[in-house]
A and B are shown apart, each in its own frame.
Chain A
Amino acid sequence: MDNKMTNEQLDALFRRVFGEEEAGDQQLLDAGDGGELSETMSKSMAQELVVLGNLKSELKALGDIPECQLNSARVKDAILGQGIPEARTSWFGSWGRFALPVAACVALAVFLMNPNRGVTTGGGESAPVVASMGVETHGISPMARMDASRQPRIEKELGLSQPDAASQTSIGGTQISGAEVPALGEVSGANRSGTRSQSRRTPKRSEAPRFASAQPVSNGASLTMSAADISAKIDGIAGGGSGTTVDRGSSPSEAVTSIAAGAIEGFSRRGSTDNAMPGAMMAAPVGMGEAGKVVIVGAGTDPQTRASAATEVDKRNVVFGG
């Protein structure tokens, strides 16, 4: 017979000592594995009973502890000292984190539903619409003329009012009347808001008059400039007159050279820190020039700037129609 106690017997001893004896424990402790307990087994069980009895009494003695002297006033002070966390009072508070994304979505939806947002200036279809700088220019954006393979095209602005003569600035000629000329870098309200008035919309290709042929430009009345050139000129004037000058009556090749120089200078200033808006971006609307003039955009481009040259010619020198 094995003299070592089984786990079941040990558990039964525990239950007996701790007063939780179960139905089969008595038989298990008395009879062992079905037979009678040996003398050695009985002795070891008796020893174990003593050990477990001591354990129980010592454990119970651990419950005899000094009295707790903590009172509720101390706990109250601790609660007041630590403060009570703010409870969420309204359902809106828990949704507050979504306010920003929702606002962004609403703003995007409003932007997408805005009918005026479709008016763009890209692709060469339309001319840049810029604030009323008062500068006499024809708003041919060099960026819009980058595609050299584009077919020659004539743009004409219709239905636009003439700019105020007092506020008109002439470049290359002589004078700049600064009556209503905003400072460089100032953005007009139309540009700031991102919406552009319908009156400045560039007419569609189908609406624009078509020309069968363009007559040669007369020396006296022609003005060959690009918007970049004008911007360079404006910058030059503002910066002490070091800008490129294009005189009326200059030959086309000279004009192209000066246009290129002006364009380079104008674009090189775009990243300057003086917050001056590039002249190319400040061009006046197309068709704001003299009455009876039309603008012809040639097919040739400058190899350096790849910008098309715009030519303003008298309407009388142009044959309309096919």
Chain B
Amino acid sequence: MSERSKAIPAGLAPDSDEALVWLARNGDFSAFERLFDRHRDLVYRYAYQMAPRRDDAEDIVQEVFVKAYQNLKRYRDEAKFTTWLLRITANLGTDKARMSNRRQKLETRESAGALTWMTVGNMGEDPIKNLEREQTRELLREAIASLPEHHRNAVVFRDIQEMEYDAIADFFGCSVGGAKLRVLRARRALRDRLAPLMEGE
């Protein structure tokens, strides 16, 4: 344990996010690197739902952590660090996702589908089924992207990232019951948008 980590204020667990934030604030970049490794995937999964291309999502993640490091002194300990990161992602991702979607529309659907298939598809399965599944996912992504922001966040956090309700409530700044209600309404809105497609199947 370094000299700096010994100076962590009393009441903070040495390996907690708050302790690492405290160390990073005091110039320990390795502590910030640990925070990055710990929460990179959380931010990436959320960013990927807004900008469904790996490079765009990674750009968002990078920008989020740069902003987080530059504004560490503004971070208040009463909020969870992950909640703070997700809020930064939500703010940054909206504009970035808009740009990404605009760019994506310029590309042909085939090339975009092939890229996704090559990226995530299982080569052992039937290519036609793979393609159909990717098309369904693409439609689902579009339906999620068309939701209002608070509905989109609710669906992404609960049903894609499988976050706990208390963390969702922390993000929205509401009670757990309020978070459950938001998730329920968001699911209903998503189902209404997908109903014609799903009933056709």
Contact = CB atoms under 8 A, between A and B. Distances in A.
A76 B32 CA distance: 10
Given A18-B159, A70-B62, 7 more contacts: A61-B133, A62-B137, A65-B48, A68-B44, A72-B33, A74-B62, A79-B69
Contact of B191 (A20, A47, A52, A70): A52
- Chain A contact-residue range equals 20 to 34
Interface stretch (B76-84, B99-107, B123-131, B182-190): B182-190
Given A56-B159, A76-B29, A70 B66 contact: no
Interface stretch (A80-88, A151-159, A276-284): A80-88
Interface string B118-160: 0110000000000001001100110010000000000100011
28 contacts: A10-B188, A14-B188, A15-B184, A20-B180, A51-B195, A51-B199, A52-B191, A54-B201, A55-B194, A55-B198, A56-B159, A59-B140, A59-B159, A60-B162, A62-B144, A62-B160, A63-B160, A65-B48, A65-B120, A66-B120, A68-B40, A68-B61, A72-B37, A75-B36, A75-B62, A75-B65, A82-B66, A87-B73
B199 to A, nearest CB: 7
B159 A70 contact: no
**Chain B interface mostly:** helix
Contacts of A68: 40-41, 44, 54, 57-58, 61
Given A62-B49, A63-B45, A68-B61, A14 B160 contact: no
Interface of B: 29, 33, 36-37, 40-41, 44-45, 48-49, 54, 57-58, 61-63, 65-66, 69-70, 73, 119-120, 133, 136-137, 140-141, 144, 155, 159-162, 180, 184, 187-188, 190-191, 194-195, 198-199, 201
A61 B137 contact: yes
A82 B70 contact: yes
Interface of A: 10-11, 14-15, 18, 20, 47, 51-52, 54-56, 58-66, 68-70, 72, 74-76, 78-79, 82, 84-85, 87
A83 B70 CA distance: 8
A265 B58 CA distance: 81
A55 B36 contact: no
A97 B157 CA distance: 45
State the majority secondary structure of interface residues on A: helix
Q: Pick the most buried of A14, A47, A63: most chain B CB atoms within 10 A of its CB.
A: A63
Contacts of A72: 33, 36-37
A55 B190 contact: yes
